[in-house]
Amino acid sequence: MREIYRILDANFNRAREALRVAEDAGRFALNDPAICAMAKNMRSELQEIYEQLPVRELIASRDTAGDIGTELTSRNEPLRTDLCAVTTAALKRLSEALRTIEEYCKIVAPTLTERIERMRYNGYTLEGRMVSRIHVGDRFRQVRLYVLITPSLCKGSVREIARLAIAGGADAIQLRAKDLPDAQVLAMAAELRELCDETGRILVINDRADIAAIVGADGVHLGQQDLPIAEVRRLLRPGAIVGRSSHSIEQSRAAVTEGADYVSVGPIFPTATKDRPVVGPEFLRQAAGEIKLPLVAIGGITAANAHDLIQLGASCVAVSSAICSAADPQAAAAGIKKAVGGIP
């Protein structure tokens, strides 16, 4: 039995270490309370399971000096290129360790195996969330409906309008609250972060990199008069995206040079939310011919014209009043999502 205890002891250690790597990444790098909580809760549960085993025998079976595995390593083991590589490797070790614990507990503690199996599935969920948060840029390329939640236009609470927009097919949410007190904007951002966590949607904050950093938003959208992109990135977690508004082809080119992750072009049509001249669909066509980043068409967009903008080269459409002020925001979002070729 000693060899079984030795296997279990080694794999409990592996699993604990992997969860600590994930928890630290969620806490210090991603500023993601949900990832921290998931990892911390899994560590606590793992300890509870461990304490139901013959702990003294497990520790007594340990033989670090005689372990031939301490001298073995793969060629790629010392190589980690970025945060995603570190956390992915740790969470792969977690799932492997839990599988080993599950199998060998069938010998010494079969009543625990179902609980360990659930933990293993929770580990897969944790890995998916971690990778998703790090690779927001790749996810943004799949966005088709980008809803700008503007509190002054909302007929209900910000959270409720965002919830209805997501139910109707919104892929990304931006909080656009320019003239409200900081504390109120922060509270709204925190609510939307929670909602986007629950629904798996991208959350972007307009202008306010400080608030985006506090709530762990997925990105920031900047206007032409806002901070340089490089300076904003210093405030954000790894993997967060930064978009830049453009109203001319020169501004679009500058956004690319500056390092934007996406460029919004507009206003395409007349809109009450943009106090500047309309640039028209031709500007979008010109930008699509030059700019390889995702292009977000914005300004006066409805279900009636959204499809044409995708045909002209927009990656997605950004909509505010057509959804926030709608009598039925969910139906309005579903109509635009259908127009751009997406499934609500």
Each residue of 261-309: pLDDT tens digit? Answer: 999 999 999 887 667 789 999 999 999 999 999 999 999 999 999 999 9
State the average pLDDT over residues 68-73: 58
Distance of CA 75 to the CA centre of its chain: 31
- Nearest of 39, 49, 65, 56 to residue 12 by alpha carbon: 49
> Is pLDDT at 119 greater than 90 in this prediction?
yes
Cα–Cα distance for residue pair 19/97, rounded to 1 Å = 11
Q: Domain residues of the chain, as ranges?
A: 2-134, 137-339
> Is this prediction's pTM over 0.85?
no
Residue 318 makes CB contacts below 8 A (sequence gap 6+) with: 146, 147, 148, 174, 264, 266, 296, 297, 298, 301
The CATH number that domain 2-134 falls under is 1.20.1260
> Is pLDDT at 8 greater than 80 in this prediction?
yes
State the average pLDDT over residues 109-128: 95
137-339: what fold? TIM Barrel (3.20.20)
Across the chain, mean pLDDT equals 92
State the average pLDDT over residues 125-132: 86
Burial category of 208 from C-beta neighbours within 10 Å (exposed 0-12, middle 13-18, buried 19 and up): buried
Least confident window among 4-8, 35-39, 113-117, 174-178: 35-39
Q: What is the pLDDT of residue 313?
A: 96
Q: What is the pLDDT of residue 67?
A: 66
Least confident window among 2-16, 122-136, 155-169, 204-218: 122-136
Rg, the chain, Cα only? 24
Pick 64 or 325 by higher pLDDT.
325
Q: What is the pLDDT of residue 315?
A: 96
Q: What is the pLDDT of residue 344?
A: 62
Each residue of 311-336: pLDDT tens digit? Answer: 999 999 999 999 999 999 999 999 99
HEC letters along the chain: CHHHHHHHHHHHHHHHHHHHHHHHHHHHHCCCHHHHHHHHHHHHHHHHHHHCCCHHHHHHCCCCCCCHHHHCCCCCCCCCCCHHHHHHHHHHHHHHHHHHHHHHHHHHCHHHHHHHHHHHHHHHHHHHHHHHHHCHHHHHCCCCEEEEECHHHCCCCHHHHHHHHHHCCCCEEEECCCCCCHHHHHHHHHHHHHHHHHHCCEEEEECCHHHHHHHCCCEEEECCCCCCHHHHHCCCCCCCEEEEEECCHHHHHHHHHHCCCEEEECCCCCCCCCCCCCCHHHHHHHHHHHCCCCEEEECCCCCCCHHHHHHHCCCEEEECHHHHCCCCHHHHHHHHHHHCCCCC
State the average pLDDT over residues 75-84: 74
Q: What is the pLDDT of residue 169?
A: 97
Q: What is the pLDDT of residue 111?
A: 97
Residue 105 near residue 112 (C-beta atoms within 8 A): yes
Q: What is the pLDDT of residue 71?
A: 59
Each residue of 207-232: pLDDT tens digit? Answer: 999 999 999 999 999 999 999 998 99
pLDDT category at 75 given cuts 50, 70, 90 is low
> Is pLDDT at 23 greater than 70 in this prediction?
yes
Q: What is the pLDDT of residue 341?
A: 86
